[in-house]
Amino acid sequence: MYAIHCMNNISTVGTDALASAGYDFVDDPAKADAWLVRSANLHEIETPQSLLAIARAGAGVNNIPVERCAERGVVVFNTPGANSNAVKELVICGMLLACRDVIGGIEWVRDAVDDPQIAKRAEKAKKRFAGCELAGKRVGVIGLGAIGAQVADALIALGAEVMGYDPYLSINAAWGLDRRIEHATDLEQLLAACDFVTLHVPATDSTKGMISADAIAHMKRGAVLLNFARDALVDEQALAEALDDGKIARYVTDFANPASANMKNAIVLPHLGASTGEAEDNCAVMAARQLRDYLENGNITNSVNYGRVDLGPLVDDYRIALFHQNAQGVIGQLSQVVADAGLNIENMSNVSRGSAAYTLVEVNAPVPEEAIERLAALEHVRRVRVIAPSA
């Protein structure tokens, strides 16, 4: 059976599921077939040749060298949606904290705790913390993936007017959104129209610094910005200046760093978004399930560096998993090697993502070592795996 190494503490709900299926857990990452990880930085860690997969118990994978793994035929999984409810609830909490100065009110009471006239004074002081209601406000949701869509739907239920922006929104995701959510055709349109703006996009080359000085200039004066996605999405110097000026009334973020911690009118949380017990359990279970399906069947679900492949469970046949460059002629060469080995292709799936391609072939008999060596020697091939049915 396969060996797993946990780079971080992973919920036992997930690890127990693997252990009960016969998987071993090893302390030495070099002796593992797969790694489970949460926040550990893997960019400076050398991946052993034996490593087949890395499963991130969470959505973001900026702590993993995704492209380098793709070049070596190491599948990187994440768990989109597993922690979305936890993040959604905290985003709504952040909006309410920005609407009503709950924190200021709590601090006032704490400072006046020894005053016998606290109740009487509170009636006069409360006006300072009253704030406004979220219902009726226009909220812009940037990114309508698993988390953003749940945030948008929850805001509709709370009586807010919601405008969504996501140029990569899939048809299936669009069908799941509340019909009352207004669609923004460009980012500037949303920024100019909304009282609250909340970010729910990954940190990529195209999104880093998307809330720039220019973007802030398009926002309504006195708007509130929420960031529970990644701190890299925001030009923090420009935002600090906007907070000082009052252009932005509040910044609510889940990313504490020297810049955000020193911002005026910022509510900064210590990365609590996906830290509930339920979210950690959900992520661990999803990560474990995806690892098992890949290691035992060759199927790939929710990989960030290889496309989705699903040939179902492996029963009696054998499977060849071929990682290769997305180059012309590879499939034909694979078919020829299989035919020369006297094997019949029962099923096959091929997907590509950028320059990385993955082909899973089901054949009717054991694959000879000579055929494996021939496949590994092909020009564009990065890795060859043969998966046998379990006894």
Taking only the tens place, the pLDDT of each residue in 164-192 is 999 888 777 777 888 999 999 999 999 99
**Closest among 370, 371, 279 to 320, alpha carbons compared:** 371
3-class DSSP state for residue 51?
coil
Strand order in the sheet with 34-37: 24-25, 3-6, 34-37, 53-56, 75-77
Sheet holding 196-199, edge to edge: 182-183, 161-165, 138-142, 196-199, 223-227, 248-253, 266-268
pLDDT band, residue 121 (cuts 50/70/90): very high
Distance CA 198, CA 181 (A): 14
By percentage, how much of the chain surpasses pLDDT 70?
A: 100
Distance separating alpha carbons of residues 277 and 151, to the nearest angstrom: 20
> Does pLDDT of 65 surpass 90?
yes
Element (H, E) at 289: helix 277-297
Overall average pLDDT of the 360-372 stretch: 97
Q: Where do we find the tokens 């492209």?
A: 67
